[in-house]
Amino acid sequence: MHVVVCVKQTPDSAAKMSVDNGKVTWGDSGLVVNPWDEYAIEEAIRLKEKHGGKATAISMGPESAKEALKTCLAMGCDEAVLISDPALKGSDALATSYVLAKAIEKLGDVGMVLFGKQAIDGDTGLVPVAVARRLNWSPLTYTIKIAELDPGTKIIKAERLLEQGKQIVTATLPAVVGTVKDINEPRYPSFMGIRKAAKAVINTWSAADLGLDASQIGAAGSPTHWPRVFPLPARAGSVELIDGTPEEIAAKLADKLLADKVI
C-alpha cells in the first residue's frame, strides 16, 4: 500500500514568539517538523513496514521545508515531495486542503493519507478533514489506534479519541487518518537515515505542475485572513505567595479561593 503523510514545517515549539511591525517573528529559534506530525510520520512508516508498499511525505511550504522532508526521509519515509510556489503564499486551511488533495491525486495510487492533529502555527486542525472531503475518502480524524487494517479487503478499524472516550469505527480505504499523540512513540532518525536523507533529491511541484486553479490558492484564493496579530495581554497582578504550616496554608488558600468565588 502507498501511504502518504502530510507534514508542515513550523517554528520550534519552545520558540519565543513576538510581533514586530505586525509580522510574527521567533528570533533565532529554528524551524522543525510540526510536533503533531511526528506521530503521523511514525504511523506511516509502521504501516509500510507491516504491509509493504511505500511511504511518501509531502509538504506545502517554502524551500526551507525541504529540511522537514529530510527529517521524514531520515526517519524512514521512502520519498518526499515539496509543493512550493510563490502563488501559494498565504493559503488558509481551505486553500491548503485544495493543494494537498491535488498533490495526493497526482501521486495516484494512494491507499491512505496521514495527518498530524494540527499545525502549531495556525492551530486550526481543519486541514485533515477538509482533504478527506475533497478526495471523498473516509474521514478518520483524531485516530489514537489503527486496530486492524487489511489492504486486501480495504477495511480499516480505528479508535478515535473524542471528548467522552473512544469511538470505535470501521471504514473502507482509501482513508484520511488524522493522528493524535498517543497513537505511537515516534522514532528518532537513525544515523544511516540521516546520511541517506542528506543526499536525497526532493522533487518540487509548482502550482502549474499540479494544474491548480489560481482563484483557489494563496492569500487571494483564501476566504480567511489575519489582519492583526498581537502579543497576549499580561496577566493581571503578580503571584501572591502563601506560607505557613501545611494546615495554615490550606486554610488561607481556602479563604482566598472561596472569596474569589472560583470554588
Ligand X SMILES: Cc1cc2nc3c(=O)[nH]c(=O)nc-3n(C[C@H](O)[C@H](O)[C@H](O)COP(=O)(O)OP(=O)(O)OC[C@H]3O[C@@H](n4cnc5c(N)ncnc54)[C@H](O)[C@@H]3O)c2cc1C
Nearer CB in complex with other proteins: 109/247: 247
Residue from 2, 11, 34, 76 in contact with ligand AMP (CB under 6 A)? 34
Which residues are registered as beta bridge partners of 178?
A: 115
Q: How far is CA 195 from CA 66, 200, 203, in A?
A: 15, 9, 18
Which of the stretches 62-70, 73-81, 191-199, 247-255 binds other proteins when contact is defined by CB under 8 A?
A: 247-255
Residues 6+ away with beta carbon under 8 Å from 36: 116, 117, 118, 119, 120, 179, 181
User: What is the gyration radius of the CA atoms in the chain, in angstroms?
Assistant: 22
37 binds ligand AMP (CB under 6 A): yes
141 sits near other proteins (criterion: CB under 8 A): yes
CB closer to ligand AMP out of 13 and 170: 13
Question: Is residue 203 involved in binding ligand X (CB under 6 A)?
Answer: no
* Residues 90-129 contacting ligand AMP, CB under 6 A: 93, 96, 100, 115-116, 118-119, 122-128
Nearer to other proteins, 98 or 205 (CB): 98
What distance in Å separates the CA atoms of residue 34 and residue 57, rounded to the nearest whole number?
13
- Region of 24-32, 34-42, 46-54, 244-252 interacting with ligand AMP (CB under 6 A): 34-42
Strand partners, 175: 112, 138
Among 15, 31, 35, 122, binds ligand X (CB under 6 A): 35
How many whole angstroms separate alpha carbon 147 and alpha carbon 156? 8
